[in-house]
């Protein structure tokens, strides 16, 4: 079995978990989901979901990972000997491929915008021209696939350098910078004429705008954004040290992740309303709106370049964590060398990502339920795989796992004082999460 190395510092471990959580899910997907589902009411459900399901499931993944210092399959075998729960790992592995498949296409778009910003082309256009620019990008199979492949090559190059070094360094420098630059853009967006409409859309909860599908989307978005439900945080926390406070780390990760999502909303929606873009524009939303914000600012193209560079790094730390799920699994469960595991993971990922990239052009007539391949992967990843994984994790830790393991992990073997987190966690895991997710699945299958 490969030798496991821990994160060098507590900050390194948290930075890596935050690096996984904060990414395109916050900056690209959160605004478009909020926009498509009416704004304020969606955000309230989203925040509620983070509190009663997100944090408990993060903690559960941490408990499984750190108590065994193993990947999900080995962990479940160790925690429940003789039982078949470990089979769920295969769902997680498949789910991680689906996420990375569509996700790397968006990362490719980010690189294209980074390139355009470097050439100074993200300025001096009308909102319609920015919209046409994005349409031209996705309509071109070469550009779409090309940038996706460039991104994947970079991703797997970084992966081949090993977990602690690569991830820790990138994440701990880039995240604070991204945070600062988001605030700068929020201020600029808020100064646009008619900005208050955007704030109203974002913070005034109009429940008449929220459908059952919107609630499902809010749950899925919360799970995707927190990186939970496909064992990513099991893998990461398996590298945590034994004196880390899991409760503190889980709440820090959730709080920072939510903050970045809300800041992205504050950056995007005032501009959406000011420029007259449809909030329901979907995956293209931020690409239509952001250039307009940059061009209002002095030295706009430098800001644009910096912004896309930081988003690129935020995405990279997320895809690294995603790729680490199958890689660690192959190394530890199938005795593969790291190189070989990376090669196989890269190969599967390339196939899915190319299909997703082609679904806007060459394969755009392949549609199911009105969605193209990219949309199906995007929808299935969060609303099916991650929710299903969340349900499994909640039921496993809430009902099946020995309570002593939970208690030991939350108190670090008695070294930390027990807090209300433990009964709260158990209540949420036993009742709140399973019941809510179960109802959502009933709805999804058309039973209610
Ligand atoms: N949480 C990441 C984001 O918001 O961009 C996406 C993600 C990373 C999902 C890792 C799942 C995962 F395992």
d(CA 294, CA 50): 31
Residue 215 lies in a domain: yes
9 alpha carbon to ligand 1 midpoint, in Å?
22
Instruction: Identify the pLDDT of residue 40.
Output: 94
d(CA 127, CA 125): 7
Half-sphere exposure of 290 (CA within 13 A, CB side): 29
Instruction: Give per-residue pLDDT as tens, 300-332.
Output: 888 889 889 989 988 988 998 899 899 989 999
Residue 268 lies in a domain: no
Instruction: Give per-residue pLDDT as tens, 130-185.
Output: 999 999 999 999 999 999 999 999 999 888 876 545 655 666 777 888 889 999 99
Question: In which domain, by residue range, is 253 found?
Answer: 10-185+201-260+280-444
For all residues of the chain together, what is the average pLDDT? 91
Closest by Cα among 89, 192, 152 to 357? 152
- The sign of the torsion formed by the CA atoms of 386, 389, 395, 397 equals negative
Instruction: Give per-residue pLDDT as tens, 348-389.
Output: 999 999 999 999 999 989 999 889 999 999 999 998 999 999
d(CA 61, CA 77): 15
pTM of the model: 0.94
Residue 275 lies in a domain: no
For the CA of 25, the closest atom of ligand 1 is: 4
Residue 265 lies in a domain: no
Residue 270 lies in a domain: no
Longest dimension (CA), the chain: 65
Residue 370 lies in a domain: yes
Q: Tokens 């201020």 sit at which residue?
A: 187
Protein residues whose CB sits closer than 6 Å to any atom of ligand 1: 20-21, 23-26, 96, 99, 224-225, 227, 230, 232, 318, 321-322
Walk along the chain (448 residues) and give the pLDDT tens digit of each residue.
445 555 556 666 777 888 899 999 999 999 999 999 999 999 999 999 999 999 999 999 999 999 999 999 999 999 999 999 999 999 999 999 999 999 999 999 999 999 999 998 887 888 888 999 999 999 999 999 999 999 999 999 888 876 545 655 666 777 888 889 999 999 999 999 999 999 999 999 999 989 998 999 999 999 999 999 999 999 889 888 888 899 999 999 999 999 999 999 999 999 999 988 999 999 999 999 888 888 887 788 888 898 899 899 889 889 988 998 999 899 999 999 989 999 999 999 999 999 999 999 999 899 998 899 999 999 999 989 999 999 999 999 999 999 999 999 999 999 999 889 999 999 999 999 999 999 888 887 777 6
Residue 144 lies in a domain: yes
Q: Per the structure, how many domains does the chain have?
A: 1
Residues 371/42, Cβ–Cβ less than 8 Å: no
SS3 label, residue 371: strand
For the CA of 23, the closest atom of ligand 1 is: 5
Residue 26 lies in a domain: yes
What CATH number should be reported for the domain holding residue 399? Answer: 1.20.1740
């Amino acid at each position: 079995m490969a030798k496991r190395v821990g994160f060098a510092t507590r900050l390194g471990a948290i930075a890596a978990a935050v690096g996984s959580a904060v990414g395109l899910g916050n900056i690209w997907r959160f605004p478009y989901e909020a926009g498509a589902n009416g704004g304020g009411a969606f955000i309230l459900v989203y925040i509620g979901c983070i509190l009663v399901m997100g944090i408990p499931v993060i903690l559960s993944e941490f408990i499984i990972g750190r108590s065994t210092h193993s990947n999900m399959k080995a962990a479940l075998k160790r925690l429940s000997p003789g039982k078949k729960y470990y089979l769920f790992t295969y769902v997680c592995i498949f789910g991680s491929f689906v996420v990375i498949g569509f996700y790397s296409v968006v990362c490719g778009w980010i690189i294209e915008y980074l390139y355009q910003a470097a050439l100074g082309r993200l300025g001096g256009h009308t909102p319609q021209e920015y919209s046409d620019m994005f349409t031209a990008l996705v309509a071109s199979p070469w550009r779409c696939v090309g940038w996706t492949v460039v991104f994947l090559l970079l991703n797997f190059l970084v992966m081949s350098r090993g977990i602690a070094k690569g991830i820790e360094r990138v994440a701990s420098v880039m995240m604070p910078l991204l945070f600062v630059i988001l605030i700068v853009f929020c201020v600029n967006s808020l100064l646009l004429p008619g900005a208050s409409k955007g704030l109203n859309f974002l913070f005034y909860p109009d429940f008449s705008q929220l459908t059952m599908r919107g609630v499902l989307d809010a749950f899925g978005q919360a799970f995707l954004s927190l990186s939970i439900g496909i064992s990513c945080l099991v893998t990461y926390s398996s590298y945590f040290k034994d004196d880390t406070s899991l409760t503190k780390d889980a709440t820090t990760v959730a709080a920072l992740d939510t903050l970045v999502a809300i800041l992205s909303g504050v950056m995007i929606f005032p501009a959406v309303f000011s420029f007259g873009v449809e909030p329901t524009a979907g995956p293209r939303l931020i690409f239509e709106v952001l250039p307009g914000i940059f061009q209002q600012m002095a030295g706009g193209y430098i800001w644009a370049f910096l912004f896309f560079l930081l988003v690129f790094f935020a995405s990279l730390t997320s895809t690294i964590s995603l790729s680490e799920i199958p890689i660690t699994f192959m190394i530890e469960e199938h005795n593969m060398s790291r190189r070989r595991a990376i090669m196989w993971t890269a190969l599967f990922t390339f196939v899915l990502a190319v299909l997703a990239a082609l679904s806007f052009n060459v394969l755009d007539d392949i549609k199911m339920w009105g969605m193209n391949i990219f949309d199906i992967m995007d929808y299935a990843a969060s609303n099916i795989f991650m929710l299903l994984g969340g349900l499994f994790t909640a039921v496993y830790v809430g009902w099946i796992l020995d309570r002593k393991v939970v208690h030991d992990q939350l108190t670090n073997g008695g070294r930390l004082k027990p807090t209300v987190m433990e009964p709260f966690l158990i209540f949420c895991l036993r009742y709140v999460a399973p019941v809510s997710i179960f109802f959502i699945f009933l709805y999804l299958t058309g039973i209610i």
